[in-house]
Amino acid sequence: MNTYLLVNVFGVIVFIAIAFLLSKDRKNINWRSVLVVLALNLFLAFFLTNFSWGRDIVKGAAQGFQWLINVSYTGIAFAFPDWVHVKQMNFFTAALLPILMIVPMFDILTYFGILPFCIKWIGRGMAFITGQPKFESFFAVEMMFLGNTEAMAVSSVQLKRISPERVLTIAMMSMSCITAAMVGAYAQMVPGEYVLTAIPLNILNAIIITNLLNPVKVTKAEDVIYKIGSPADDKQIAEEVVEDKPGKPAKAPFFSFLGDSILGAGKLILIIVANVIAFVALAALISKLLGLINPWLSLEHILGVIMFPFAWLMGLDVNQAFQFAQYMGTKLVTNEFVVMGEIAPKINNVHVFSHHFQAELTVFLTSFANISTVGMIIGCLKGIVDRKKNDMISKNILYLFLSGILVSLMSAGIVGIFVW
């Protein structure tokens, strides 16, 4: 048997063991849920990477997102023809400007109730299969479509009423998502089929890891979805009417809503550009300063040394593992766009990166797990929940970061088992 495959399998076990050893309450871990979700995870990874129907599904979805990107280029070319009709488009044009169409598209689906309908029923199915509470299951699916801060904003009614321990679980899960609107941008830089494979695996692994790190017992009376518009005072919770179908808030006029969505997409692009420029420049500055001490020293090398054991457990040889570790460390300190931009010209070249390396690296990068995301989550929750719950999050920042790292490692490791 392939020795690297055995190491890869052992690595997944090690990642689970780390979560168990660092658990806040090992006695209350729901092992039935963990094992069921792990089995579902393995089946899904195998189906999407090795089964012909599964590969056709992710390839078809990737082609669908590519089609949307190509449509968006029509609008970009109308305004900036010399940016599109070139041999090689730059990062800003190819990966970011399509967001101006994709974000409003998903917002339109939300406006007409199509996306919430999908979230609701997929969430119910997740709760039934995994044995997780309804809200945690709904939230996992919301994250897949909406992103972390957006899903928390949509779920503010629930977050105000659940316990601080459950809010911590939600914050930890939020480290592992991406937004559906970002898939097109990612697919322009790394293999789209692995990006799409990573999305459901991240959801399932977020359930596993948070179940291990922060097990919380939820009674039947607490396992409800509160009605939107109920009083916010905690003393009145017992008197609130609860139901599985949340009420609908008043809608803004469609074109007003659409205008706000487009402006929001523009702001998102500016935020990404600012972060990428700043992080790349700061990382280069740190490496230059370290190089003054020793020519070998650089931020990438230091991060590579720290993350090397985890990269080796992915079933890679020593040289590949060190390179992989540098990408992992850079992503965690900066963001996924920094690494994707660096590897985009070579990620699809099998003479440079093997299929195993391609799959694992792409899946690892497909999440918002990095230092800046911690700040985003804390900032978002400060505007939603009370001080007690905010204090719970602030005291467990390391658990948020640990959760994000372990979910990314689990997803990449599980995909790596089936792609060689």
Q: How far is CA 117 from the centre of its chain?
A: 21
DSSP lists the bridge partners of residue 242 as 226
Write down how long the chain is. 420
pLDDT of residue 147 exceeding 50: yes
DSSP lists the bridge partners of residue 226 as 242
Report the pLDDT value the prediction gives residue 104, as an integer from 0 to 100.
84
d(CA 248, CA 227): 9
Residue of 350, 352, 326 whose CA lies nearest to 339: 326
Q: Coil, helix or strand for 226?
A: strand
Most confident by average pLDDT, 200-209, 227-236, 250-259, 327-336: 200-209
Question: Percent of the chain, pLDDT > 70?
Answer: 89
Cα torsion angle, 59, 61, 65, 71, sign? positive
Report the pLDDT value the prediction gives residue 251, as an integer from 0 to 100.
66
pLDDT of residue 410 exceeding 60: yes
The whole-model pTM stands at: 0.78
1 contacts: CB under 8 Å, gap ≥ 6 = none
Report the pLDDT value the prediction gives residue 227, as an integer from 0 to 100.
52
Contact 412, 325 (CB under 8 A): no
Task: Provide the phi-psi class of 113: left if phi over 0, else alpha when psi is between -120 and 50, else beta.
Answer: left
Least confident of 191-205, 278-292, 300-314, 400-414: 278-292
Contact 416, 8 (CB under 8 A): yes
* Residue 162 CB neighbour total at 10 angstroms: 23
246-270 per-position pLDDT tens digit:
444 566 788 888 888 888 888 878 8
Report the pLDDT value the prediction gives residue 1, as an integer from 0 to 100.
54
Residue of 172, 178, 171 whose CA lies nearest to 403: 172
Report the pLDDT value the prediction gives residue 226, as an integer from 0 to 100.
64
Report the pLDDT value the prediction gives residue 236, as an integer from 0 to 100.
40
Alpha-carbon distance values, 391 to 217, 222, 309, 382, 403 (Å): 20, 22, 33, 10, 18
CA diameter of the chain: 67
**φ, ψ dihedrals at 30, nearest 5°:** -85, 85
Report the pLDDT value the prediction gives residue 250, as an integer from 0 to 100.
60
Give residue 180's pLDDT band: very low, low, confident or very high (50, 70, 90): low
pLDDT of residue 237 exceeding 80: no
pLDDT of residue 166 exceeding 50: yes
In terms of C-beta density within 10 A (0-12 exposed, 13-18 middle, 19 or more buried), how is residue 294 classed? exposed
64-75 per-position pLDDT tens digit:
777 887 888 899
Q: Coil, helix or strand for 216?
A: coil
pLDDT of residue 179 exceeding 80: no
d(CA 12, CA 15): 5
Report the pLDDT value the prediction gives residue 321, as an integer from 0 to 100.
93
Mean pLDDT of 16-29: 93
Q: Name which residue leads in pLDDT, 314 or 304.
A: 314
Residue of 366, 363, 357, 364 whose CA lies nearest to 316: 357
Q: DSSP state, 354?
A: -
Report the pLDDT value the prediction gives residue 238, as an integer from 0 to 100.
36
